[in-house]
């Protein structure tokens, strides 16, 4: 009995040890997987909680019968390898919606350009960008378009155009262009700028702090004696490095910039509190009061979650101080955080990947970056069911609004800077073509008969609301859009180039709606729509298409 007992004991002990090893390995794998997924889960949850996209329209996700699914042009492995450690909010592409179920489409404008510069960084490094790094509206809006200047006292003008769809010839596109009024730097109001600079240890790379210093030098050299600059830095601790100083003393400001050094953890929340306090203490009535946050977005001390920081920025927004966000770096870039802060802070977001981009955002386009001419700009489109069966807004997924929000002046929306152009593109399914809506029965009572009356020549109506920079009450603009049967080849240069960029974005995202899009098609369309291209941005785009095609 004793031998049997000992033998059983040894067997039991061995079994327990084996089970422990197995479960320990499983737990380790689970912990690793949970850690890898944590930033994605947070981004998903916070995208849903902070984005005003809960419209009744979202219940009608559809596929068009005329959409073709093209083969994937990239391997997912190349994107995942480069994006390790970087954070992007999940994008669920806008679906096709049936006009009889959802005749209204409402969204906030977006003048951010960060996604294009970030995509360029990946392609120049020989990598496919992560799918959620590709925000198509920001890629389109990176480029300037030749829209006429507004006439009269309005801050911007609207220019719609209809043409065939380059990647799905059975469909059409409606191109909506907004042109902000250009303002000479001699005529802009005085600026009270607070540079809120991340000097934590994560910024100690050539593409981060040194590039940030170069960018700020470019900006400071654009300022005049009527402008003032303060500098707040944050790492483990935050503090005022330079009190409010007249731009007439450029040497003092530049000296403070040149002496910046990186080190420590990242307490962004504390820095934001100090920066807004300094901005309010030096507030210029009827001036341009703005915090310029420059960071890689890697906040890891104090307030660090997206929701906490966004809530802080939303509260500070009420002070009349605007926010611009400049993103830097690679490897740990928190794009999700930076985009949300800019969206909620009455501002804009640019990603600086080179000195050339710094010269664009803070040099040639500094008026648009710093000087707001209209805020809380919303667009609502009503489609004519006699002309349109279905539609899809390309991009702007994180800018969707409930239809009732259009007339609600308490709802935040995007800003337009001086001279900015903003472009939005709808892909529409003409009346008579079926819009597939799997899982939803056909409507019994809401069928629309085609007619030669009742606005039959109108494809849609575009309404816009906006506020003056210091105003609280919105103003309304409205414009009807007539149907046209122009081919994409006969469309304006603006429409052709924007369509090429949109098509490129669909390919980079491997979108289910890319139809027969191809890199060759993008190149052909863009090549014939380069225009003057004085700064070579459009030719550079062609180079990026070639790089993507080779991956």
- pLDDT for res 450: 57
Contacts of 364 (CB under 8 A, 6+ apart): 535
Task: Please tell me the distance from the alpha carbon of residue 289 to that of residue 271, in angstroms, as a whole number.
Answer: 17
pLDDT tens digits, 29-54: 444 333 333 333 333 333 333 333 33
pLDDT tens digits, 2-33: 444 444 444 444 444 443 443 444 444 444 33
The DSSP string of 341-371 is: HHHHTTEEEEE--SHHHHHIIIIITHHHHH-
Answer yes or no: do 226 and 354 share one domain.
Answer: yes
The DSSP string of 232-261 is: EEESSSEEEEEEEEEGGGHHHHHHHHHT--
Confidence check: pLDDT of 473 > 60 = yes
Q: What tokens were used for 83? A: 């994006």
- Residue 45 in any domain: the answer is no
Question: Which CATH number fits the domain that encloses residue 445?
Answer: 2.60.40.1230
CA 303 from centroid of its chain's CA atoms: 23
- pLDDT for res 337: 87
- pLDDT for res 26: 42
Q: What tokens were used for 21? A: 């090893």
- Residue 312 in any domain: the answer is yes
Answer yes or no: do 474 and 507 share one domain.
Answer: yes
| Contact between residue 242 and residue 231 where contact means Cβ atoms under 8 Å apart | yes
Out of 370, 396, 417, a domain closes at 370
Answer yes or no: do 440 and 352 share one domain.
Answer: no
DSSP lists the bridge partners of residue 178 as 158, 422
- Residue 262 in any domain: the answer is yes
Out of 370, 391, 423, a domain closes at 370
Task: Please tell me the distance from the alpha carbon of residue 143 to that of residue 316, in angstroms, as a whole number.
Answer: 31
CB atoms within 10 A of CB 385: 18
| Contact between residue 422 and residue 157 where contact means Cβ atoms under 8 Å apart | no
Average pLDDT score over the chain: 84
Answer yes or no: do 338 and 385 share one domain.
Answer: no
Task: Please tell me the distance from the alpha carbon of residue 380 to that of residue 108, in angstroms, as a whole number.
Answer: 9
Instruction: Please report where in the chains the tokens 């993008």 appear, as a residue.
Output: 522
How far apart, in Å, are the Cα atoms of 370 and each of 118, 213, 277? 21, 18, 19
pLDDT tens digits, 357-380: 999 999 988 988 889 999 999 999
Q: What tokens were used for 235? A: 């790492």
List the domain range (segments joined by +) for residue 173: 56-183+373-550
| Contact between residue 498 and residue 425 where contact means Cβ atoms under 8 Å apart | yes
Q: Comparing 234 with 456, which gets the higher pLDDT?
A: 234
Answer yes or no: do 171 and 311 share one domain.
Answer: no
- Residue 46 in any domain: the answer is no
Answer yes or no: do 490 and 519 share one domain.
Answer: yes
- Residue 35 in any domain: the answer is no
Q: What tokens were used for 74? A: 């990239």
Q: What is the mean pLDDT of residues 504-509?
A: 98
How far apart, in Å, are the Cα atoms of 138 and each of 112, 235, 281, 307, 353? 6, 30, 34, 23, 15
Answer yes or no: do 276 and 357 share one domain.
Answer: yes
pLDDT band at 347 (very low <50, low <70, confident <90, very high): confident
pLDDT band at 85 (very low <50, low <70, confident <90, very high): confident
Closest C-alpha to 340, from 196, 144, 135: 135
Confidence check: pLDDT of 236 > 70 = no
pLDDT band at 300 (very low <50, low <70, confident <90, very high): low
- pLDDT for res 80: 37
3 state SS of 179: strand
Out of 370, 390, 411, a domain closes at 370
Answer yes or no: do 457 and 348 share one domain.
Answer: no
- Residue 49 in any domain: the answer is no
Task: Please tell me the distance from the alpha carbon of residue 415 to that of residue 109, in angstroms, as a whole number.
Answer: 7
Task: Please tell me the distance from the alpha carbon of residue 113 to that of residue 95, in angstroms, as a whole number.
Answer: 23
- pLDDT for res 307: 78
Confidence check: pLDDT of 205 > 70 = yes
Answer yes or no: do 362 and 396 share one domain.
Answer: no
- Residue 48 in any domain: the answer is no
3 state SS of 537: helix
Instruction: Please report where in the chains the tokens 């802070």 appear, as a residue.
Output: 345
Question: Which CATH number fits the domain that encloses residue 240?
Answer: 3.40.50.410
Answer yes or no: do 463 and 521 share one domain.
Answer: yes
| Contact between residue 429 and residue 391 where contact means Cβ atoms under 8 Å apart | yes
- pLDDT for res 269: 74
Strand ranges across the sheet with 172-180:
97-98, 388-393, 421-430, 172-180, 156-164
- Residue 41 in any domain: the answer is no
- pLDDT for res 297: 76
| Contact between residue 433 and residue 170 where contact means Cβ atoms under 8 Å apart | yes
3 state SS of 208: coil
Confidence check: pLDDT of 140 > 50 = yes
Answer yes or no: do 422 and 360 share one domain.
Answer: no
Q: What tokens were used for 304? A: 């660090």
Query: What SS3 string covers 40-56?
Result: HHHHHHHHHHHCCCCCH
Task: Please tell me the distance from the alpha carbon of residue 530 to that of residue 268, in angstroms, as a whole number.
Answer: 41
Q: What is the mean pLDDT of residues 274-291?
A: 94
- pLDDT for res 186: 84
Q: What is the mean pLDDT of residues 194-218?
A: 93
Q: What tokens were used for 425? A: 């593109």
CA 467 from centroid of its chain's CA atoms: 21
Answer yes or no: do 535 and 414 share one domain.
Answer: yes
* Prediction pTM value: 0.83
Q: What tokens were used for 87? A: 């954070």
What are the DSSP E strand ranges found in 352-487? 372-383, 388-393, 414-417, 421-430, 435-436, 458-467, 475-482
How many structural domains does the chain have?
2
- pLDDT for res 443: 75
């Amino acid at each position: 009995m004793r031998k049997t007992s000992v033998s059983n004991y040894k067997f039991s002990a061995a079994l327990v040890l084996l089970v422990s090893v197995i479960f320990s390995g499983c737990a380790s794998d689970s912990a690793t997987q949970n850690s890898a997924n944590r930033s994605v889960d947070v981004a998903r949850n916070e995208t849903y909680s902070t984005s005003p996209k809960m419209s009744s329209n979202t219940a009608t996700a559809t596929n068009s019968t005329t959409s073709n699914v093209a083969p994937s042009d990239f391997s997912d492995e190349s994107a995942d390898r480069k994006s390790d450690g970087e954070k992007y909010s999940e994008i669920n592409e806008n679906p096709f919606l049936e006009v009889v179920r959802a005749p209204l489409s409402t969204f906030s404008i977006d003048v951010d350009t960060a996604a294009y510069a970030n995509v360029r960084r990946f392609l120049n490094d020989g990598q496919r960008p992560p799918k959620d790094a590709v925000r198509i509206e920001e890629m389109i809006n990176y480029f300037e378009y030749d829209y006429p200047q507004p006439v009269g006292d309005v801050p911007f003008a609207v220019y719609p155009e209809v043409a065939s769809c380059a990647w799905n010839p059975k469909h059409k596109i409606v191109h909506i262009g907004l042109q902000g009024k250009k303002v000479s730097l001699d005529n802009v109001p005085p600026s009270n700028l607070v540079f809120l600079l991340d000097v934590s240890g994560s910024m100690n790379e050539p593409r981060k702090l040194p590039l940030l210093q170069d960018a700020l030098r470019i900006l400071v050299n654009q300022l005049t004696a009527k402008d003032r600059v303060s500098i707040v830095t944050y790492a483990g601790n935050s503090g005022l490095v330079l009190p409010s100083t007249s731009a007439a003393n450029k040497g003092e400001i530049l000296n403070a910039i040149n002496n910046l050094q990186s080190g420590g953890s990242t307490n962004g929340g504390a820095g934001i509190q100090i920066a807004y306090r300094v901005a309010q203490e030096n507030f210029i009535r009827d001036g341009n009061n703005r915090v310029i946050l420059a960071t890689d977005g890697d906040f890891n001390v104090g307030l660090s979650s997206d929701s906490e920081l966004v809530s802080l920025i939303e509260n500070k927004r009420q002070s009349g101080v605007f926010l611009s966000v400049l993103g830097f770096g690679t490897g740990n870039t928190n794009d999700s955080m930076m985009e949300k802060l800019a969206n909620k802070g009455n501002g804009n977001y640019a990603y600086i990947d080179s000195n050339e981009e710094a010269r664009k955002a803070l040099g040639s386009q500094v008026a648009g970056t710093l000087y707001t001419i209209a805020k809380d700009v919303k667009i609502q489109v009503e489609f004519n069911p006699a002309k349109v069966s279905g539609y899809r807004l390309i991009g702007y997924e994180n800018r969707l609004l409930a239809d009732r929000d259009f007339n609600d002046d308490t709802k935040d929306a995007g800003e337009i800077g001086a001279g900015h152009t903003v472009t939005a593109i709808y892909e529409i399914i003409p009346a008579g073509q079926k819009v597939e809506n799997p899982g939803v029965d056909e409507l019994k009572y809401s069928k629309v008969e085609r007619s030669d009356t009742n606005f039959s020549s109108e494809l849609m109506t575009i309404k816009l609301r906006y506020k003056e920079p210091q105003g609280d009450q919105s103003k309304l603009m409205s414009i009807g859009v007539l149907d046209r049967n122009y081919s994409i080849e006969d469309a304006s240069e603006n429409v052709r180039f924007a369509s090429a960029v949109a098509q490129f974005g669909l390919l980079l995202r491997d979108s289910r709606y890319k139809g027969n899009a191809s890199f060759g098609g993008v190149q052909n369309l863009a090549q014939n729509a380069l225009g003057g291209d004085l700064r070579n941005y459009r030719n550079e785009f062609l180079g990026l298409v070639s790089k993507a095609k080779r991956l």
